[in-house]
Amino acid sequence: MSSIESKRVQYRKYLERAGVIDALSKALIKLYEEQNKPDDAIRFVRKFMCESCPDDDQFDMMKSDLEEANKTIARLEQELERLRSQIKKTPEEIAELLEDGFKSLTEDEEFNNSLLRKYLTREVLDEYMMTTTAPPTEANLFDCIQSGTTHHDSSCGVYAADADSYDVFTKLFDPIIRDYHGQLENESDVLQKDNDWGNVDEIENLDPERKYILSARIRIARNLDGYPFFPKLREKQYIEIEEKVRGAAEALDGELTGAYYTMGDIEPDIQREMVARHILFKRGDEFLTTAGCYRFWPTGRGIFHNPAETFLIWVNEEDHLRIISMAKCGDLGDVYNRLVTGVTELEKSLKFARHPRYGNITACPTNLGTTLRASVHIRLPLLSMREEKLKAMAEELNLQIRGTGGEHTQIEDGVMDISNRRRLGFTEFELVKSLQEGIVALISAEEEIEAGGGDD
Ligand SMILES: Nc1ncnc2c1ncn2[C@@H]1O[C@H](COP(=O)(O)OP(=O)(O)OP(=O)(O)O)[C@@H](O)[C@H]1O
Ligand SMILES: NC(=[NH2+])NCCC[C@H](N)C(=O)O
């Protein structure tokens, strides 16, 4: 064997060992995580890593390959750190994190408009300092507010770590929910009644001449009963959820017939291309990252869609399911119809979580209730140049404006994403209808400006 070949053999062995260590360390960390002994895990893995390294002679032979080997080890170390940061914290550590987060949030003079900032008072913090949700999840307040205390520019700033979080930390969540959805005056016990899809035929094509609307989309979120939300999901649960949703989706028929693609099997280039075509979610939203949304990526994540790409299910993004209906035109009626059929079918085989007060339950309080966001990508060049007028109309019509790259993106070339802002306290039908009315009003305003008026 030539010395190069021999080096390669050694190097392969070395990498194999690194692979073994990698797998082993992950398993170990998880085991120790259960027992709340992170340091033992790290020590054990490091010791194992040393024992498994090639001896000195072998090391000499692989010197030229050491850079690669080091990268492998660095990746392993990084993985260890990543896992370590997820390991269960002591109540004292949690209290310290909460104090620090509260301090930095309340002392920030520049970014102070989040709902978290508005409702996280000293009293609320003290009351929940040592509280956790029910086992086995045992989420603490920090699991819910970590994103908002890190990103002071959040509009909301909280995510429920499990369904129980809404009840256990109610003095924080309830006012946030009622404020966001315009229900501050509503004292009733039930803020969201049963699903009510209404008369689907009343929803129409909003732009039959295809002058303004490029596409329409309605999505709802669902979470499976009995599982925590993304901040506390374990790797095994990600896989279980994916399996359940996949099974239910693959049983759909007619126009909804499609295939499931697990994220790990979608090439990165293809993923990027699907994101650019607005059909796939992206990884990396900073608010979600801090809340723990991308742990164990790409495990359990994926997408189901029909060949026409008009019916899609996102699996294990922000919620366990995002059920989506789309069309490359303004036919909101067609989109709504398909969504209703899809969710009705899925409900037959999946048990979705509901809250007695808030209805369909989601990780983010802004999505509770109907969980429905109906949107159009619309070109309104004249109105978009009149920013104040557009903003005032959106406010009046309860609409939200985003860029077409998704949430937290900017409007480009007069094309924007306009959707209903509220999701709770109204029926599904009322919200889609209100988006319909809002879009009709915006198109009329655009036409008025086109005709030389509308600048009052
Ligand atoms: N009407 C639409 N036509 C085509 N694509 C759309 C439409 N509305 C949204 N999208 C696309 O869907 C993707 C996800 O959008 P975005 O993240 O803003 O909202 P979402 O999926 O409703 O969830 P969330 O509100 O939780 O962020 C993006 O690629 C966005 O461009
Ligand atoms: N995808 C969402 N849930 N968006 C709404 C809120 C996003 C972010 N946490 C904020 O507070 O600004």
- pLDDT tens for each residue of 111-139: 989 999 999 999 999 999 999 999 999 99
CATH of the domain at 341: 3.30.590.10
* Ligand 2 centroid, distance to 152 Cα (angstroms): 12
Same domain, 174 and 213: no
Same domain, 446 and 429: yes
**What does the DSSP 8-state code read for residue 26?**
H
Same domain, 103 and 81: no
The finding on whether 154 has its CB within 6 A of some atom of ligand 2 is yes
Structure tokens at 29: 């960390």
In a domain, 101, yes or no: yes
| Residue 402 annotated to the active site | yes
Residues in the chain: 456
**What does the DSSP 8-state code read for residue 412?**
B
Point out the residues of the chain with pLDDT beneath 50: 50-54, 56, 59, 61-64, 66
What pLDDT is stored for residue 63 in this prediction?
A: 46
* Residue that is last in its domain, among 180, 214, 247: 180
* Residue that is last in its domain, among 86, 121, 144: 86
| Residue 50 annotated to the active site | no
Q: Which ligand is nearest to the CA of 150?
A: 2
What pLDDT is stored for residue 403 in this prediction?
A: 93
Same domain, 67 and 172: no
Query: Which value, in Å, is the radius of gyration of the alpha carbons in the chain?
Result: 25
How many other β-carbons are positioned within 10 Å of the β-carbon of residue 386?
17
Q: What is the pLDDT of residues 42-78, one digit of tens each?
A: 665 555 554 444 454 554 544 445 455 555 555 655 5
What pLDDT is stored for residue 69 in this prediction?
A: 53
Domain of residue 130, residue span: 91-180
In a domain, 371, yes or no: yes
Distance CA 218, CA 102 (A): 36
Same domain, 407 and 281: yes
What pLDDT is stored for residue 61 in this prediction?
A: 46
In a domain, 380, yes or no: yes
Same domain, 310 and 284: yes
Same domain, 112 and 252: no
In a domain, 82, yes or no: yes
What pLDDT is stored for residue 10 in this prediction?
A: 63
What pLDDT is stored for residue 59 in this prediction?
A: 46
* Residue that is last in its domain, among 180, 213, 247: 180
Distance CA 419, CA 401 (A): 7
How many other β-carbons are positioned within 10 Å of the β-carbon of residue 155?
14
- Give me the chain's average pLDDT, please: 88
Same domain, 61 and 100: no
| Residue 373 annotated to the active site | yes
Same domain, 440 and 377: yes
Nearest residue (CA) to ligand 1, atom 15: 406
What pLDDT is stored for residue 279 in this prediction?
A: 97
CB 304, CB 279: distance < 8 Å: no
Same domain, 259 and 351: yes
In a domain, 187, yes or no: no
Q: Domains in the chain: how many in total? A: 3
Q: What is the pLDDT of residues 301-314, one digit of tens each?
A: 999 999 999 999 99
Q: Tell me: cis bond preceding 208? Omega within 30 of 0 counts.
A: no
